[in-house]
C-alpha cells in the first residue's frame, strides 16, 4: 500500500519510547530504537538498526544511515547526513548541512556545512566554490 502524503512510516520492529515526536514524511527502519523525549523532524530517513538516545533532536530532511548511534541530548541540524555505523557522543551538536562519514566517532560539536572524515573536520565548498580545510583541532 502506498504511503499517504504527510504520513510517517514506522517499521513494526522499531522500538519507540514515550514522548517522542516524529515529523511528517519520515521513515523509521527495522530495529530502530528511539529513547524518551526525542524529536525527529519531517522528511527524515532513519535507517535500520539506528539507536537515538534520550532528549535528542534531529532536524528536518536528515538521513541517518543504518547502524548509526546518536547519544543523549544530541542536536542534528537540518539536511545533515550521519553515515553508516557512525557514533555521535552525548551532548554534541551537529550543524545544518553537515556530513559524518561511515564509521566515524564525533566527540565535539560540528558547525554548519562541515564534513567529519578520518578524524578531521573538513569545510565543504562555500557559495564561491572555494574549498577551505582545517583539522578539527584548529577550529
At 5 the three-state DSSP class reads: coil
Residue 132 φ then ψ, to 5°? -120, 125
Q: Which three cell numbers stand for residue 39?
A: 524529536
The C-alpha atoms of residue 76 and residue 81 are separated, in whole angstroms, by 9
Going from N- to C-terminal start, the domains of the chain cover 1-139
Q: How far apart are CA 65 and CA 91, in angstroms?
A: 20
User: Is residue 119 very low, low, confident or very high in pLDDT (cuts 50, 70, 90)?
Assistant: low
pLDDT at 2 over 70: no
Q: Could you tell me which of 126, 128, 122, 90 has the C-alpha nearest to residue 108?
A: 90
Instruction: Give the pLDDT band of residue 128 (cuts 50, 70, 90).
Output: very low
Is 124 or 65 the better-scoring residue by pLDDT?
65
Q: Are 103 and 85 in contact (CB under 8 A)?
A: yes
Instruction: Output the CATH code of domain 1-139.
Output: 2.160.10.10
Amino acid at each position: 500500500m502506498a504511503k499517504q502524503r504527510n504520513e510517517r512510516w514506522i517499521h513494526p520492529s522499531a522500538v519507540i519510547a514515550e514522548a517522542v515526536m516524529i515529523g511528517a514524511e519520515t521513515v523509521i527502519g527495522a530495529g530502530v530504537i528511539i529513547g524518551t523525549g526525542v524529536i525527529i523532524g519531517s522528511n527524515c530517513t532513519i535507517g535500520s538498526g539506528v539507536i537515538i538516545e534520550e532528549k535528542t533532536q534531529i532536524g528536518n530532511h536528515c538521513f541517518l544511515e543504518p547502524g548509526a548511534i546518536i547519544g543523549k541530548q544530541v542536536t542534528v541540524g537540518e539536511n545533515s547526513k550521519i553515515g553508516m555505523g557512525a557514533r555521535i557522543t552525548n551532548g554534541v551538536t551537529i550543524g545544518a548541512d553537515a556530513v559524518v562519514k561511515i564509521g566515524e566517532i564525533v566527540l565535539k560539536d560540528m558547525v554548519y556545512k562541515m564534513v567529519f572524515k578520518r578524524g578531521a573536520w573538513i569545510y565543504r565548498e562555500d557559495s564561491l566554490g572555494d574549498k577551505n580545510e582545517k583539522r578539527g583541532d584548529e577550529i
